[in-house]
């Protein structure tokens, strides 16, 4: 101590406060109550999956999407991991993107963007759907009722889901079809390519579109697009349209008129 300084009296020592058992018990009860509340929410019948809302699907059925996502009705909604469902969906080549959300109290909302199939073709094991790059994105044993044109006269061999078509004629047809919009594609039921110089399209109403070869590809695709857009409003009974030549030709079905009997 320096000369002239006065020693200050020592202050009271801080008292250590002991936690009261009651306060600790209250904290434990609060945590327990929260745990019970969470358990009630998770396992309550009120929050079990009852409805699955699917958006964005044009080719896949809602039931297929549920199976692909491993989604099962009746399971606790909060036990269902949306990121796992999304991962399962994205493993299917037919699905480009997916968003999965819970909607309380009992609904799962699934929004997907499909890879667009452009045609169906026969294979040595059944049928396959091809996308705009010629990739096989789906395969099945029997032909399904889907709004896709069937490529007939050709067969895809030893190609499975994830493989790309290598046949030049198949890829030429895919190149032609991808120049058409969805509305036009939905009006086509068949692309007959049994002869490479006599390719013929058939509409859902059995009207023929004769292309011949796939030379002048973009020109013929534009003519086909315009014709299919106008066809639903046509007042004529059209048998076929011929785009093999520079000047398109439309042939109408002949209407039978009984001959008048001579008096």
pLDDT of residue 263: 42
pLDDT of residue 195: 94
pLDDT in tens, 108-133: 999 999 988 999 999 999 999 999 88
pLDDT of residue 10: 55
pLDDT in tens, 131-164: 988 999 989 898 877 778 999 999 999 999 999 9
CATH number among 3.40.50.300, 3.40.50.10960, 3.40.50.720, 3.20.20.150, domain 117-252: 3.40.50.10960
pLDDT of residue 7: 56
Contact of 123 with 155, CB cutoff 8 Å: yes
- For the chain, which residues score pLDDT lower than 70? 1-45, 255-263
45-114 is classed CATH 3.40.50.920:
no
Contact of 148 with 190, CB cutoff 8 Å: no
Q: What is the pTM of this model?
A: 0.67
pLDDT of residue 144: 78
pLDDT of residue 192: 97
**Domain edges within the chain:** 45-114, 117-252
């Amino acid at each position: 101590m320096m000369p002239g300084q006065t020693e200050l009296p020592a202050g009271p020592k801080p008292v250590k406060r002991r936690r009261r058992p009651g306060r600790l018990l209250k904290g434990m009860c609060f945590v327990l109550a929260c745990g019970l509340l969470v358990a009630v929410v998770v396992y309550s019948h009120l929050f079990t999956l009852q409805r699955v809302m699917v958006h964005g699907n044009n080719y896949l059925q809602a039931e297929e999407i549920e199976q692909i996502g491993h989604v099962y009705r009746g399971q606790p909604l909060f036990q269902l991991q949306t990121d796992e469902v999304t991962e399962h969906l994205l493993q299917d080549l037919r699905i480009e993107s997916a968003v999965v959300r819970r909607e309380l109290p009992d609904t799962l909302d699934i929004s997907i963007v499909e890879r667009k199939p452009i045609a169906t073709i026969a294979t040595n094991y059944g049928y396959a759907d091809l996308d705009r790059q010629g990739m096989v994105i789906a395969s099945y044993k029997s032909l399904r009722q889907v709004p896709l044109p069937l490529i007939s006269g050709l067969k895809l061999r030893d190609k499975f889901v994830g493989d790309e078509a290598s046949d030049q004629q198949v890829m030429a047809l895919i190149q032609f079809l991808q120049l058409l919009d969805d509305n036009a594609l939905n009006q086509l039921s068949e692309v007959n390519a049994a002869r490479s110089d006599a390719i013929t399209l058939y509409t859902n109403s059995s009207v023929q579109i004769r292309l011949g070869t796939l030379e002048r590809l973009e020109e013929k695709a534009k003519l086909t697009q315009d014709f299919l857009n106008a066809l639903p409003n046509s007042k004529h009974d059209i048998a076929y349209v011929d785009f093999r030549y520079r000047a398109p030709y439309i042939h109408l079905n002949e209407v039978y008129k009984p001959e008048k009997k001579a008096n």
